[in-house]
């Protein structure tokens, strides 16, 4: 039986030692996944024992929900005041009927991606209703389904967006296109 030369044996020992070091120092993907999910960072104290310390999670203001368009916030609101005058500078429907109202946010349902405002319940906002606050069946016969209109104390669900045009004297204004009236309980 032939023996391996000493040089080859030395290379084999070095290779085995290297593999052992790499295998012992690497974390398995399961360990990495577990640490990522539990949001912990390993720390090694002076005596060599491995401890785990908690790291606070970053606060996320808004989580985007599927079904809400980017740049929109879905909310439950209540009309608290309506500007009785049509917008004198507007053309179209808002030049004929009132489109501006104060809305109290009752509940935030969710946010679409890139909505850059923070809205909270009980906050009152300025809202600009693109298709007016009046029923749209006769005003806009091509709008389907027709909107029933809103009055003071009406509650509704709508997706609001930040209006890019300043409307009125006190920005920000939030734009409402379509809405669903909620029945009073």
Both 124 and 36 in one domain: the answer is no
User: Does a structural domain hold residue 63?
Assistant: no
Both 175 and 136 in one domain: the answer is yes
Asked whether the predicted pLDDT for residue 39 surpasses 50, the reply is no
**Structural domain count, the chain:** 2
Range of the domain at 145: 72-182
pLDDT tens digits, one per residue of 106-165:
999 999 888 888 899 999 999 999 999 999 998 898 988 899 999 999 999 999 998 766
User: Does a structural domain hold residue 15?
Assistant: yes
CATH of residue 105's domain is: 2.40.50
CA angle 99, 102, 104 (to 5 degrees): 135
Both 168 and 130 in one domain: the answer is yes
Q: What distances in angstroms separate CA 38 from CA 29, 41, 103, one per listed residue?
A: 14, 9, 40
User: Does a structural domain hold residue 60?
Assistant: no
Both 81 and 149 in one domain: the answer is yes
Both 83 and 48 in one domain: the answer is no
Is the pTM value of this prediction over 0.75? no
């Amino acid at each position: 039986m032939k023996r391996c030369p000493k040089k080859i044996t030395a290379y084999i020992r070095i290779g085995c030692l290297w593999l052992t070091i790499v295998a012992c120092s690497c974390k398995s993907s399961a360990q990495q996944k577990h640490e990522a999910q539990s949001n912990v960072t390993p720390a090694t104290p002076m005596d060599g024992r491995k401890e785990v310390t908690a790291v606070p999670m970053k606060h996320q203001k808004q989580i985007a929900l599927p079904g809400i368009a980017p740049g929109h916030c879905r909310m439950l609101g209540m009309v608290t005041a309506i500007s009785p005058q049509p917008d004198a500078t507007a053309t179209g429907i808002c030049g004929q009927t009132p489109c501006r109202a104060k809305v109290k946010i009752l509940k935030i349902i969710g946010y679409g991606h890139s909505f850059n405002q923070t809205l909270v319940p009980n906050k009152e906002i300025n809202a600009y209703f693109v298709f007016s606050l009046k029923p749209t069946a006769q005003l806009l016969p091509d709008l389907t389904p027709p909107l029933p209109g809103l009055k003071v104390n009406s509650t509704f669900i709508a997706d609001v967006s930040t209006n890019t045009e300043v409307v009125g004297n006190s920005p920000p204004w939030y734009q409402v296109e379509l809405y669903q009236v909620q029945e009073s309980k």
